[in-house]
Structure 1
Amino acid sequence: MPASAGPVAPEILADIAAASRILAARGVVDGFGHVSMRHPEASDRFLMPRALAPALTEPADIMEFDLDCAACDGDDRKGFLERFIHGEIFRARPDVGAVVHSHSPSVIPFGLVTAPMQACFHNAAFLAGGVPVFDIACDHGDTDMLVSDNAKGVALARALGDRPVALMRAHGSVACGPTLQTAVFRAVYTEVNARVQHWALALAGDAETLASLSDEEGRLADQPNQTAGRRAWDLWRREIRDQTGW
């Protein structure tokens, strides 16, 4: 068992637990899905809840893992089977401070069809550079679709590349960011953007007719959204605090 990188401030543990509940409240996760944060004092460790429904997560449920996804300090609680998504993205992307994996229903269709997900409005500007699709079958053939070991996590991280979001064929998506707040914002607005794009396609009938954001518009619009993401987080975090007291 790897050693812990050290204690984490209670408010950080509370924020990770709140992130799970925020994602559930915003319809991004239900009984499944998870969020993680890189350990604030050690880049080779990350923090994520034990395996339970996100809406039930509390600060005491947060576990520490190394990048091989082994639990630290002999913590024998059950971790999420797909924690390898998080460990391998953290290993491949030093710029990433938090990761969200979800099966949000409006997003899944874009991993099944040739029509690409596009940045349809300014709050989803981070999608403007393109959204890659990870197909687990390309490297691993027929599977249960779960990223359940390091090799599958490596393949997913490779497909993600330097992008903030990747779709997972017939499964869901991952969203990441430099902070927990940004990753949660991106996960929420990836789902919102997917709904907007479904509505726009129903009106247009052709993906090529969408007046989505250009790469440069996305770059420019994503800068103020770092502030917008914090504003949204402050609202969502207060709602959880009002419900739980932490």
Structure 2
Amino acid sequence: MSTSLDAKTAVSQGSRILAAQGVLDAFGHLSCRSPERPDRFLIPRSLAPALVTPDDVAELDLAGDLIPPTSGVQLFLERFIHGEIYRRRPDVQAVVHSHALPVVPFTVVPGARIRPICHMCGFLRGAPSTFDLAAHAGASTDLLIRNAEHGRHLAEHLGDASIVLMRAHGYTVVGARVEEVVYEAIYTMKNCEIELAARALGEPAFLSDGEAEACAQTLGAATSRAWELWVRQCPPIGAASGG
């Protein structure tokens, strides 16, 4: 049975993997629902993802408040992304929010869609839609999900999907396991890189719906293999802050 200690280790490892793969830099975050309290989630304190250790992973309630209340702990401003998705989607056990640059163009060009372009990215079938905070909070925000109301609007837009784009901001991925959301966050970015490169040659040929479905089923079982490799490729915990 998974424990909060196991989950904190997974969040730490996943954060460092996402940083090593270029999905997160100094910004962005990974969380998982508490395995012991479904009304709570585990997320690092406000810290560059490459530096996260299990000791840096805090427990929050769905309102985004620290459990237990502790002074001097700085939390991510956009923790409301996570809390409101967990509140609306009991099936979701892990969330990644990223600003990966190859994805951002697809959030700002009207009519652009992310479609699966290679066999590793069949999970992108259905073309993620784009959430625009301005439609709910006006055109004078900094585009950040700063409060529970913003988070609710994002969670409602996500609906039953696994990925939502965020205009001029980035994207958010949800899933049933930390390993799953890490894989999908990485390969969403790679899919965008491949499409941007392919368009220099001409109009890309995308996977059919049937191909995407079959690829998603095949590759979904292989996320653990990727996770094991990525963990081994990361610097040991405590070494990431060296230099």
Structure 2 length as normaliser, TM-score?
Answer: 0.92
| Corresponding residue for residue 95 of structure 2 | 99
**Is contact 1:64-1:71 (8 Å) kept?**
yes
More moved, 224-233 vs 168-177: 224-233
2: CA distance, partners of 1:10 / 1:147: 28
Cα distance between partner residues in 1 of 2:156 and 2:93 = 17
C-alpha contact (below 8 Å) 1:49/1:62 kept by paired residues: yes
Code of the aligned partner of 1:139: H
Contact 1:100/1:175 (8 A) holds in 2: yes
Find the aligned partners of 1:215 and 1:151 in 2 and give their Cα distance: 35
Instruction: Say which of 61, 66, 71 aligns to 1:66.
Output: 61
CA distance in 2, matches of 1:31, 1:245: 17
Worse-superposed segment, 125-134 or 223-232: 223-232
Find the residue that maps to 1:65 and give its secondary structure: strand
Maintained 8 Å contact 1:16/1:37: yes
What is the rounded CA distance, in whole Å, between the counterparts of 2:32 and 2:4 in structure 1? 13
CA spacing shift, 1:19–1:97, aligned 2, 3 Å = same
1:125 has 2:122 as partner: yes
Query: Counterparts of 1:50-199 in structure 2 under 5 Å?
Result: 50-76=45-71, 77-113=73-109, 114-142=111-139, 143-199=141-197
For the residues of structure 2 that align with 1:236 and 1:61, how far apart are their CA atoms? 20
Find the residue that maps to 2:174 and give its secondary structure.
strand
Deviation per CA, 1:98-149, whole angstroms, max 9, x where unpaired? 0000100000000011221111111111111111101000111121110010
Residue number in structure 2 paired with 1:4: none
Q: Residue 202 of structure 1 aligns to a residue in which SS?
A: coil
Structure-2 residue corresponding to 1:44: 39
Deviations 1:134-180 (A, max 9, x none): 10001111211100101100111111111111110000110111100
> Match of 1:39, as an amino acid?
S
C-alpha distance in structure 2 between counterparts of 1:214 and 1:88, whole Å: 33
Preserved contact between residue 129 and residue 218 of structure 1 (Cα < 8 Å) = no
Conservation of the 8 A alpha-carbon contact between 1:108 and 1:170: yes
Quote the Cα distance in structure 2 between the aligned partners of 1:164 and 1:49: 22
Tell whether 2:236 aligns with 1:243. Answer: yes
More displaced stretch, 10-19 vs 182-191: 10-19
Maintained 8 Å contact 1:66/1:87: yes
Q: Aligned Cα RMSD in Å?
A: 1.7
Q: In the aligned structure 2, how far is the partner of 1:180 from the partner of 1:39?
A: 12
Distance in 2 of aligned mates of 1:245 and 1:237: 14
1:224 aligns with 2:223: no
Code of the residue aligned with 1:147 in structure 2: it is I
Amino acid of the structure 1 residue aligned with 2:208 = S
Unpaired runs of 5+ residues, structure 2, are none
